[in-house]
Structure 1
């Protein structure tokens, strides 16, 4: 009987074809945490007045919830993952010294994983978020809130405490009544709407438009763009105690009265 052999190029082509089919199959139905119908729940005891969230790769929703028991952080986790060639995908959470550490373990030749969390924090607690890659949403905070993400958008609503928001690659948005807001992104737009007259607003984008909408009042405004138009339509007075700084290296800058 004749023996069938394949040349090296033929074998390489076969491997490439099989790989292409596998990749196409994974891409066609990518993992989504929204498909997890049975999320996990955990409670962690908070001992101080500040929670630190340390996450490497997940979408986060952080809420200052009225119904959350004092001294307790409630966390809900959704996760879906698949690895064609590699280890079993998984997620982990731990809590120590008021730091919530969230990690995803998803590696292999073809790996596709997705995780998201809802973190409910007692009122009266400040929060500091350090996110590696993922969007962050937060609402309901009356205390200091700081959010930093390397790759993802930031969106804060219904908050009255001081805000410090930063994204290396993503938009930053806020609809709040905070006394002080600092919002910055390296690549994306900044869009702030203030529901009360703030003491200070600092908004900056290296590459994107910057828009600040303010209640009717007189402001000390500094606005500039290296490559884009500048429009300031709020009343201005350099002696005003309400200071607004808005600038972009590459994008339009707008400071206007909120509708």
Structure 2
């Protein structure tokens, strides 16, 4: 084989590789999903309980005057040599699954869902990554979040919240029974009605609990942080407040 033929083969190989790389980029860039305009779908619900199972999405969950579960979603994503897509389905009429798939060499996905739930339905939210806002619930509300801020507004039913990484805020809440365990993040409660029981735990983050005027049995302990209790205290009160923080300031006051 001559030197010239070897050079020709090398040059041809390089051109072929470049063409293939270019083809891959073109194919990858064509796998683009831009759903900036929202899409809405309704799902039939069986019974009075709903679990929302979501990942990698911001959630707005609202108690509304609807008969079925109404979901509106926004999605903007792309993947180079991969997948960028969303899916939704109701399982057994009780479990709403919201999924975001964003896999590839270079990916970018942004998803959010608004879930309108019939009133008088108890709701459990299990979200792996993304903020959760819940508004207007008079029924039991349970929220579990792996990573993301949780905000609850205008709720009056029992409230049970767990967050591994993200703050928790409850505003305009009339719930008589509140449990909130936050691993890493600030906790802020502003109540409009006198509660029967509040149980708040935080490993790393400050804690502020605003209560209506009344006498409370308060147990507040911060291992590394100050404690300020500015409500009337009565060891025999049926209104019990327990606030424990490993690392962060605790403030319990009248609003």
Query: What's the TM-score bracket when you normalise by the shorter of the two chains?
Result: 0.7 to 0.9
**In 2, Cα distance between the equivalents of 1:239 and 1:221?**
10
Q: Identify unmatched segments of 5+ residues in structure 2.
A: 8-24, 26-31
User: Hey, what does 2:236 align to over in structure 1?
Assistant: 239
User: Hey, what does 1:212 align to over in structure 2?
Assistant: 209
Residue 111 of structure 1 is aligned with which of 107, 111, 133? 107
How many residues align structurally? 230
TM-score scaled by length of structure 1: 0.84
**1:119-178 deviation line (CA, Å, top 9, x unaligned):** 000111010011011110000000000000000111000111000011100001101111
User: Hey, what does 2:87 align to over in structure 1?
Assistant: 92
**1:207-247 deviation line (CA, Å, top 9, x unaligned):** 00011100000000000101000000100011000000111
User: Hey, what does 2:158 align to over in structure 1?
Assistant: 162
User: Hey, what does 1:229 align to over in structure 2?
Assistant: 226
**In 2, Cα distance between the equivalents of 1:221 and 1:235?**
9
Is the contact made by 2:88 and 2:97 (CA closer than 8 Å) also made in structure 1? Answer: yes
User: Hey, what does 1:248 align to over in structure 2?
Assistant: 245
CA radius of gyration, larger in:
2
User: Hey, what does 1:44 align to over in structure 2?
Assistant: 43
Higher strand share: 2
Runs of 4 or more above 6 Å deviation: none
Q: Secondary structure at the match of 1:151?
A: coil
User: Hey, what does 2:21 align to over in structure 1?
Assistant: none
Q: CA RMSD in A?
A: 2.3
User: Hey, what does 2:11 align to over in structure 1?
Assistant: none
Q: How does 1:54-73 map to 2 (within 5 A)?
A: 54-66=53-65, 68-69=66-67, 72-73=68-69
